[in-house]
Amino acid sequence: MGLPPEVLALDLSPSLGDVPLSELFERARTIHAHLASIPASGDRGRSLLCAALAWLAEAEARLALLGVFSPNEDADDLATGDLKYVLVPFYMAELMAAARGGGDPAEDGRALVRALRCLAAFLERCRQYGLFGEVIPDAEDSHSPLDANARRTQKVARFKRAREVEKQLEKLQRLRSNMDRLEKDAEDPSHVLNIDEEVTRRTWLLTIEWAAAQALDQQQVLRQEVEILKVMEERGESRQGGNSGASGTSAQEAPSQSHVSAEMMQKLAAIGASLAGQGRQRQAQAQAEVFRPSHILPTVTVEQQAVKEWREALALQQAREAAASKRAGDESGGSGSEEEGGKGVYEQRAWDDWKDDHPRGYGNSKLRPCAQ
Q: What is the DSSP string of 64-76?
A: HHHT---TT--GG
Helix-helix angle 21-33:43-66, to 10 degrees: 140
Is residue 266 over pLDDT 90? no
Q: Residue 296 and residue 76: Cα distance in Å, rounded?
A: 51
222 near 95, Cβ under 8 Å? no
Whether this model's pTM surpasses 0.95: no
Q: What pLDDT is stored for residue 194 in this prediction?
A: 62
115 near 97, Cβ under 8 Å? yes
**Measured in Å, how far apart are the chain's first and last C-alpha atoms?**
152
Q: Residue 313 and residue 322: Cα distance in Å, rounded?
A: 14
- Mean pLDDT along residues 147-158: 79
Is residue 276 over pLDDT 90? no
138 near 154, Cβ under 8 Å? yes
Is residue 9 over pLDDT 80? no
Q: Residue 217 and residue 222: Cα distance in Å, rounded?
A: 9
- Mean pLDDT along residues 140-161: 71
99 near 48, Cβ under 8 Å? no
Q: Which residue has the higher pLDDT, 190 or 37?
A: 37
56 near 24, Cβ under 8 Å? yes
Q: Which amino acid is at 299?
A: T
> Other CB atoms closer than 10 Å to residue 85's CB: what's the count?
21
Is residue 242 over pLDDT 60? no
pLDDT band at 191 (very low <50, low <70, confident <90, very high): low
Q: Which amino acid is at 236?
A: G
Is residue 88 over pLDDT 90? yes
Q: What pLDDT is stored for residue 46 in this prediction?
A: 81
4 near 39, Cβ under 8 Å? no
- Mean pLDDT along residues 320-337: 76
Residue 158: is it exposed, middle or buried by C-beta count within 10 angstroms (0-12/13-18/19+)? buried
